[in-house]
Amino acid sequence: MNLIDSVKRYTTVVADTGDLEAIAKHKPQDATTNPSLLFQAAQMPEYEHLLEDAIQHALACSGDRAARAEVFMDKLLVSFGCEILKIVPGRVSTEVDAGLSFDTEGTLARAKRLVGLYQKAGIGRERVLIKIASTWEGIRAAETLEREGIHCNLTLLFSFAQAVACAEAGVTLISPFVGRIYDWYRKERGADIPPDEDPGVASVTRIYNYFKKFDYKTQVMGASFRKMDQIVRLNGCDLLTISPDLLEQMEKTAGEAPRRLSVETAKASDATKIHLDEKTFRWMHNEDAMAVEKLSEGIRKFYADARKLEQFARAKVAQRMAS
């Protein structure tokens, strides 16, 4: 048995890519994308038809070039999502622009537009997760969307406060970023961290145990892995989203990964239940220097990636309008 098959016995494996061939090759249950991954995929010749479809959709809409570029981006995100859903049996995560991370109403409007595009394409809400940054404003938007039957994946999650607020808001899924947490502490220490002291793994383990002990329905999906050992040490987590490179490494590595996380061990943990209003959330999150820094940095990076995709969209629409 190889490592990835061993992990699949206890955990739902999700592909972290926009490359349809990679998804088909590794056969994950779900898939998750972001503007950076789609920007790369959109430039591949095999996806030219999806670009063309998005261009035609944008040209059919009224508004200036900026408005049409936004429509193009949403259509492209959904078109890739629809293609992914032809391959995976489960769900696809589609991201709201990071520029809306502190805008609850803007996030709600964009999320509903994305879901509307999926519905027009014949895709039911149960197969789509709207990906939103785990800010206080993003969590509030997700709480409203969940009440309306739109499922959410709260991303850029680094602090325990973010996780608890998401669970209390009833979101479907959270994506704690294992690798980026590890990166921050490694930089602080100036050296590699022993696997059994990995702070990213410890963070997800704590969140998983808390959610299961207090019967929250929110699923935990470890994300942003740097090495196979981090994945193996979270075997048993609800879901793990893994890049094609690491999926390939794990397929080529023989071995059996024991289950590390379970409801039984979570129930036996010594976690104490807490409640977070906005003031408590902001203070508790602020006390975690790593989380404050990585959330801000993550939003900036996701925003920059979205702008690359937007510039690409504007150029494509302008080119077609000129011709």
Active site residue ranges? 131
The three-state DSSP-derived secondary structure of the chain is CEHHHHHHCCCEEEEECCCHHHHHHHCCCEEECCHHHHHHHHCCHHHHHHHHHHHHHHHCCCCCHHHHHHHHHHHHHHHHHHHHHCCCCCCEEEECCHHHCCCHHHHHHHHHHHHHHHHHCCCCHHHEEEEEECCHHHHHHHHHHHHCCCCEEEEEECCHHHHHHHHHHCCCEEEEEHHHHHHHHHHHHCCCCCHHHCHHHHHHHHHHHHHHHCCCCCEEEEECCCCHHHHHCCCCCCEEEECHHHHHHHHCCECCCCCCCCHHHHHCCCCCCCCCCHHHHHHHHHCCHHHHHHHHHHHHHHHHHHHHHHHHHHHHHHHHHHC
